[in-house]
Amino acid sequence: MFLFLKQIPAAERIIKRNPFFYSEFRQALEQMEDADLEARRAMAQRLRARVASWASRLPGYKSYDFSRPFSELPLLSKARLQAEAGDFQRHTVIPQVDVATSGTTGVPLRLKRSIQSLAIEQAMFDWMAAKVGLDYGNSRIAVLRGDEVKDPNDPTPPYWEDVGRNKVIFSSVHLNNRTFPHYERKLQEFQPDILTCYPSSLELLTHLAQPRNSSISFKLAITSSETLGAGLRARVKRVFGAPLLDYYGQTERSCAAYSLEDDVYRFIFPYAYPELIPGADGKCSIVGTPFWNRAQPLIRYDIGDIAVLPEAAAESESEREKISLGFSTFNGIEGRRSDCLKLADGTRVFGLDRVPSGVDGAASVQIVQVASEAVLMVVVPNAQYTEETLATLRRKFYLKVPHHVDLRIDVREAPYRLASGKAPVFISQVQEPAC
């Protein structure tokens, strides 16, 4: 139902800017921006207690002793959330939003979100856009991410969809040197205020626009879902005249952070509470507790991403707490790879992490680019696996990737791992980096 309503701009606006939830959180964001450390600690304590109260009524948390200090509660792993998803979800007659995602680790997850959490997230994006003087709700938005706008084998324009008067969704997979003039004309005609995109999509658009001295312009680029490449912020400013806001979040909505300057990130509080578990060289594992999704409360959820902190902060519990509460900044997120195929003709295919979304028969799915026109898909089956699982994965792969790319599927007992022990969704084995 919600996916249908998203196609109706007025209905989506009512849901995402519901005054019962939106205004209160927008006010809380603005208050916390100027709050001292003690005020932040007090709010974090109240919100953690509320989430614990929600969680205590769910089967997934029946073994938790919520009388213990919060930091001593068990970590919730992606694997457990995947295997026992229903035990962590609240069943109610109030409408909820179903979400299926593979996540950056390749483990398919089925999640639920409350209507309140949608409004909270929108308030957060509006608050971020206001930092550069923009009213997100009344802005013209262009989207250049992994959306399936049309068959990737169809080379003919248009390469976009108009959603109402103020939003255009572009196909990333069709953007290349040959098709760029079509994108340029549409962007010049539409005149977006904000471009929301993957960093790799923006990188390609920048490289295509710069030598042509293109007159494409917008007022703000918002990137997310991939690691921001070195120098991209400066190139976007030079080519398009726009600042770049890099947003860090996850489909689980376990925490959020943003950056308007290179190597300067700040967690958004009181959206969530990200605990930072120290490791080596100023790197900390991120464990998130979101505060606003009553449909599926997550307690100390092990996100699997790494935050890079100044060395002195990483070694100090009090300094890590300041960063978690959004009082101090950190250097960035490490280890989030771009899931992008670079084909021989220069075409780039994005959003491959969506291929396993909603496929129940796979415990994990990885996409390994073994040559410029060849891909190996590594599938680890689970108890729901059937031959139809592979057919579904193949079909979804070719909804994004041209048919001339050879796909081989290898069913294994364990995922393909790098020397580091990591098993990312996308791996490139070609000599040149994929993106």
* Mean pLDDT across 208-220: 94
Q: What pLDDT, on the 0 to 100 scale, is given for residue 352?
A: 81
Q: How far apart are CA 43 and CA 135, in angstroms?
A: 27
* Mean pLDDT across 74-98: 88
Answering whether pTM is above 0.85, one says: no
Structure tokens at 192: 């977006």
Beta pairing partners, 127: none
Residue 129 or 20, more confident: 129
Q: What pLDDT, on the 0 to 100 scale, is given for residue 434?
A: 45
Q: Report in angstroms the alpha-carbon separations of 280 from 75, 237, 355.
A: 20, 34, 33
pLDDT 10s digits, 138-193: 999 999 998 889 898 899 999 999 998 999 999 988 888 889 999 999 999 999 99
CA angle, 35 then 304 then 378, to 5°: 150
Q: What pLDDT, on the 0 to 100 scale, is given for residue 1?
A: 45
- Report residue 422's pLDDT band, with 50, 70 and 90 as the boundaries: low
3-state secondary structure of 275: strand
Domain boundaries of the chain, sorted by first residue:
2-248, 341-428
Q: What is the CA radius of gyration of the chain?
A: 21
Residue 2 or 256, more confident: 256
Q: How far apart are CA 146 and CA 341, in angstroms?
A: 12
CB 306 within 8 A of CB 327: no
CB 429 within 8 A of CB 367: no
- Only one residue has tokens 């578990």, namely 277
The residue type at 70: F
pLDDT 10s digits, 346-397: 888 877 877 887 788 887 788 999 999 999 999 988 778 998 999 999 999 9
Question: What angle, 0 to 180 degrees and rounded to 10, lies between the N-to-C axes of helices 232-240 and 199-209?
Answer: 50
pLDDT 10s digits, 223-279: 998 778 778 999 999 999 999 999 999 889 999 999 999 999 999 999 999 999 998
Fold of 341-428: GMP Synthetase; Chain A, domain 3 (3.30.300)
CB 115 within 8 A of CB 15: yes
Average model confidence (pLDDT) across the chain: 88
* Mean pLDDT across 320-345: 84
Instruction: Answer yes or no: is pLDDT of 11 > 80.
Output: no
Residue 129 or 338, more confident: 129
Q: How far apart are CA 9 and CA 204, in angstroms?
A: 29
CA torsion sign for 154, 158, 159, 163 is: negative
CA torsion sign for 120, 121, 124, 125 is: negative
Q: What pLDDT, on the 0 to 100 scale, is given for residue 49?
A: 96
Structure tokens at 242: 């726009």
Q: What pLDDT, on the 0 to 100 scale, is given for residue 382?
A: 79
- HSE of 119, CA atoms in CB hemisphere, 13 A: 19
- Report residue 5's pLDDT band, with 50, 70 and 90 as the boundaries: very low
Structure tokens at 206: 């920048």
Q: How far apart are CA 221 and CA 223, in angstroms?
A: 6
CB atoms within 10 A of CB 435: 22
CA torsion sign for 28, 32, 35, 37 is: positive
**Beta-strand pair 264-267/272-278:** unpaired
Instruction: Return the biggest CA–CA distance within the chain.
Output: 63
Lowest mean pLDDT among 68-77, 213-222, 309-318: 309-318
Beta pairing partners, 96: 114
* Mean pLDDT across 15-27: 88
